[in-house]
Structure formats: C-alpha cells, structure tokens
C-alpha cells in the first residue's frame, strides 16, 4: 500500500453520520447569528472607566433632564444614586418639628410625677367638659324646674314636659338601668321586665317614683322598700316533701302541669306558710312586693326545680336607691320614661 493513500474517515466523527447532523446545524446557526449582531453590540468599557452618557435624557415634552449622580456605592450591578428629598418635603418636615415644639410649650404635653405640664395656654380638657356640663344644665334649668314643680300626672299631660322627660329619661335609663333590665327593658332572670303590667311594687307614676327614689332592700336608704321571703328549706321551716308539695300547688295555681295528690297536700302547707303574703288565690300583694303566683310571669323561672330552690333559699334581690346619684328632676324624667314603656298604670 502506498503512503499517499488516505485512511477512511472515522464514522463516529463523520458529518455524514446522522447522529451528528443536528449538532452541526445548531453550531452553524449560532455562528450566522453571532455574525449578524456583532456590529450592533457596543464595546464593553473597562471596569475603572466611567460611563459617560452619550446624550441627555429627555423627560416629558422633550425637556432635558440632568443625570442623577451616583454615590459610588454599587453591589451586584445595583448603583446607589445621590437623589435628595424634594425641597417642599424637607421644609414641611422642618415645619412639623417647629410646630411640635410650640405645641409642647403651649398645651399639656410632658407627663410629670403627679400631672402633666399645663402649658402656656393652661388648657384643661376636664375644665372644658365641666364648663360644657354647666352650660347644658343652665340651658335646661327652666324646664327641669318645671318638671320638679309639676305633679307627676301633669308632666304626662304637658307635651313639652313629656317630650323632655321622655328623652332625658331614655338617656338616663340607658346609662343607669340597662345593665340590669336590658337595653330594651325586657328584663332578665332575677331582673323585672318593665314592658308588661306585672309589677311587684306597683306600676303607677307614684309607685315607680318611690321605687326609683328609695330602691328595694337598699341598706343605705332608711326609707327603702323592704320585704323578705323566709328561707323555708335552709332554716328548716319545711322539709323536702312539704316543699315539693307546695311546688305542685303553685304549679296548679298558674295552670301548669302538676301532680294532683301532691298539689292537694301542698294547699294546706301553702295556706299555713305562704298565703299571708301571696294571698289565698296566689294574686300576690304589691304592698309587700310579693309576686302573683296565679300567672306564668315569673322573675326567676317557673320550672319545678327553680320553684323548689326559691322556696328553700328565699330570693333577696336588691335595687339601689337613686336619690343619692340622680337629681329629683332626673328621677322624675326616668319615672315618666319607665311608665311609658308599656306597662304603666
């Protein structure tokens, strides 16, 4: 074999090999694309060479804008510019500082041991509130005097007095009474409903006024309304069987399901121990605050177990006397309001 005879090309590296065609075509396309865009790429500056803008940036309407200088801080290609706050913002900030200092000297501001500094203007919100209350009292003094001087019945017949008493009484009720009797005066367990005509001590204007003035079982008022139900079970006045019999007798009075035999036995126990206050027919006695037992309107509930607990332990609800907290005009206004809720007599 002669030396100039060529060795056959390796099939694995041959361009004719189908496995190499895709890679060769990709390389050819990349070379053509690089040749096309080579003239459009600007030369990359050296790291220490500052970049000078080729032209001024144009803002809106073609107005030239100054280039923002750099602080020289750069991290990962992010440059920190030296861009100060607007002048108007800085002057506003300085003005708020001056205003705050002036406010500190003019008004109460710095807390001390017992009170804050009063300031040059000696402004006091408590004095302002007190002055507003005095102004309100002076403006309402004439009609309050008329409410006090008039009879309770006359107040409800005079449109002006009625309007004042209803509005003032409503505000007083929401402030002092709603916590127990409810915002809508519907009451709750242990707190009477003021919307119906079932009253413990009477529902006339005079009765309501007396109850509000002196309260019920208030130890601080010597003229308070007073009554006390015996604790028949706790004090051993009745045994459990007798209490159960009285419970069924009370259920029979109010038209609820009861045991006839126990109710008959309980009638005798009731007559000996309960009728003096609640009456033989269970109609109650408002003079003693003894509730009626012949209806299903109850203060604590009419379930058999609840009735047994009441008979055994004896309830002792307390209502405060309002004469020390409210003026006579306010008590009268509250009286008219409660009387007009729907159950007044």
Annotated binding site for heme c: 177, 180-181, 229, 274, 277-278, 319
CB 272 within 8 A of CB 238: no
Is residue 53 classed as helix, strand or coil in its secondary structure?
A: coil
Count of other CB atoms within 10 angstroms of residue 334: 25
Secondary-structure percent of the chain, ordered helix, strand, coil, rounded to 5: 45, 5, 45
Q: d(Cα 312, Cα 58) in Å, to the nearest integer?
A: 96
Residues 82 and 68 sit within 8 Å (Cβ to Cβ): yes
- Alpha carbon of residue 301 to chain centroid: 30
Take residue 107 and report the two structure tokens written for it.
């008004």
Cα 242 from Cα 229, distance rounded (Å):
17
CB 195 within 8 A of CB 342: yes
Q: 290: how many CB neighbours lie within 10 A of its CB?
A: 20
DSSP state, residue 50? P
Which string of b and e fits 51-76 if b means at least 16 CB within 10 Å? eeeeeeeeeeeeeeeeeeeeeeeeee
301 touches 154 (CB < 8 A): no
Q: Cα–chain-centroid distance for residue 227?
A: 38
Residues comprising the binding site? 177, 180-181, 229, 274, 277-278, 319
């Amino acid at each position: 074999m002669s030396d100039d005879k060529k060795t056959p090309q390796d099939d694995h590296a041959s361009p004719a090999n189908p496995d190499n065609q895709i890679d060769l075509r990709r390389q050819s396309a990349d070379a053509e694309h690089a040749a096309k865009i080579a003239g459009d790429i600007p030369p990359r500056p050296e790291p220490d060479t500052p970049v000078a803008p080729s032209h001024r940036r144009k803002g809106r309407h073609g107005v030239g804008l100054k280039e923002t200088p750099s602080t020289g801080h750069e991290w990962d290609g992010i440059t920190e510019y030296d861009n100060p706050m607007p002048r108007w913002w800085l002057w506003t900030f300085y003005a708020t500082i001056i205003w705050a200092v002036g406010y500190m000297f003019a008004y109460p501001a710095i807390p001390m041991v017992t009170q804050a500094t009063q300031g040059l203007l000696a402004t006091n919100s408590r004095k302002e509130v007190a002055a507003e209350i005095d102004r309100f009292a002076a403006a309402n003094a004439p009609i309050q005097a008329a409410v006090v001087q008039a009879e309770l019945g006359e107040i409800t017949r005079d449109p002006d007095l009625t309007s004042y008493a209803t509005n003032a009484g409503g505000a007083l009720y929401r402030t002092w009474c709603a916590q127990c009797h409810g915002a809508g005066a519907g009451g709750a367990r242990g707190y009477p409903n003021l919307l119906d005509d079932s009253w413990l001590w009477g529902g006339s204007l005079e009765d309501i006024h007396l109850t509000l003035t002196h309260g019920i079982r208030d130890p601080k008022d010597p003229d308070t309304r007073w009554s006390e139900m015996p604790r028949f079970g706790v004090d051993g006045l009745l045994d459990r069987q007798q209490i159960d019999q009285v419970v069924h007798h009370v259920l029979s009075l109010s038209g609820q399901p009861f045991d006839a035999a126990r109710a008959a036995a309980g009638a005798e126990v009731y007559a000996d121990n309960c009728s003096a206050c609640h009456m033989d027919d269970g109609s109650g006695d408002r003079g003693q605050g003894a509730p009626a037992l012949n209806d299903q309107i109850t203060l604590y509930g009419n379930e058999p177990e609840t009735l047994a607990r009441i008979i055994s332990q004896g309830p002792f609800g307390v209502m405060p006397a309002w004469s020390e907290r409210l003026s006579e005009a306010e008590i009268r206004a509250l009286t008219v309001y409660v009387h007009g809720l729907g159950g007044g007599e």
